[in-house]
Amino acid sequence: MSSELDRFLAAASRPLRTIEIRIGSEVFTLRELCESDAADMEVQMQSGDKFDFAKHRRLLVSYCLVGKDGERIIEDSDSLKPLPRQTIGKLYEEALKLSEYDAKEIEALAKKSDAAGG
């Protein structure tokens, strides 16, 4: 078995981590991004001319925001547009940490998206 396949199987077999974030009087539950959701997000981010950071923030939050049962509660990231930018920003920051994204990965995704669109 390849080491990449071993890594995938190990990641797929462990439960996804969740955290609760308090913003004001509201408590939000975030679940780390799984491999299939990350792949779906990447495809969605390539459907434009330029990398859209606001769209990326909404997508990541929509994939990570879950109910008490651990299931996603937002299917359409555009439904997050009415939320205050500070709320989305805080949830996004925590989702990045939880899903172990770093700036280099976001930059690579932006370059890949820009190359596909233009």
44 domain residue, yes or no: yes
Closest CA to 30 of 64, 2, 59: 64
- 78-116: pLDDT as tens digits: 999 998 999 999 999 999 999 888 778 888 777 776 676
Residue 13 placed within a domain: no
Q: Quote the DSSP letter at residue 68.
A: T
Query: Using CA atoms in the order 72, 53, 14, 10, what is the torsion angle rounded to 10 degrees?
Result: 140
Q: Which domain holds residue 58?
A: 18-117
- What's the pTM value of the predicted model, to 2 decimals? 0.77
Q: What's 58's domain CATH number?
A: 3.30.2220.20
Is the residue at 9 inside a domain? no
- Flag whether 97 is in a domain: yes
pLDDT digits (tens, 9 = 90+) for 15-67: 788 999 998 899 999 999 888 888 888 888 777 668 888 888 999 999 999 99
Angstrom distance (rounded) from CA 98 to CA 16: 10
Alpha-carbon gap, residue 36 to 39, rounded angstroms: 5
The domain tally of the chain equals 1
